[in-house]
């Protein structure tokens, strides 16, 4: 019995649920890839609190648009 084979479908399902997105860190200006555990809502208005890998602070990011709440370059 190959445990890797039996675990593969579960892993694939878990990866499908992880929704990767890219945002621009407002503190460092770097493009950062983030992951959220759930599918983002399709309304384009939901912001997710994620810990930034670039500056290690918390950002509110819209995973649909990649916009960061509080970004001041508008
Ligand atoms: Zn950041």
Q: Which two tokens stand for residue 58?
A: 């918390």
In this predicted model, what pLDDT tens digit does every residue of 25-59 receive, in sequence order?
999 999 999 887 666 566 667 888 899 999 999 99
Q: How far is the CA of 50 from the centre of ligand 1 (A)?
A: 9
Residue 55 lies in a domain: yes
Q: Is the pLDDT of residue 74 over 70?
A: no
Q: Would you state the pLDDT for residue 20?
A: 81
Residue 40 lies in a domain: yes
Residue 5 lies in a domain: no
Residue 2 lies in a domain: no
Give the domain range for residue 44.
18-74
- DSSP labels, 7-35: HHHHHHHHHHH-EEEEEE-TTT--EEEEE
Give the CA angle between residues 66, 45, 69 to the nearest 5°. Answer: 55
In this predicted model, what pLDDT tens digit does every residue of 3-25 receive, in sequence order?
556 666 776 666 666 668 899 99
Q: How far is the CA of 15 from the centre of ligand 1 (A)?
A: 24
Residue 56 lies in a domain: yes
Number of domains comprising the chain: 1
Q: Would you state the pLDDT for residue 7?
A: 64
């Amino acid at each position: 019995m190959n445990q890797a084979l039996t675990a593969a479908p579960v892993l694939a399902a878990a990866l499908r649920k992880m929704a990767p997105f890219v945002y621009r860190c407002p503190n460092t200006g770097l493009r950062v890839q983030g992951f959220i555990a759930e599918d983002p809502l399709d309304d384009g208005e939901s912001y997710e609190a994620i810990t930034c890998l670039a500056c290690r602070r918390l950002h509110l990011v819209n995973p649909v648009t990649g916009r960061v709440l509080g970004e001041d370059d508008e």
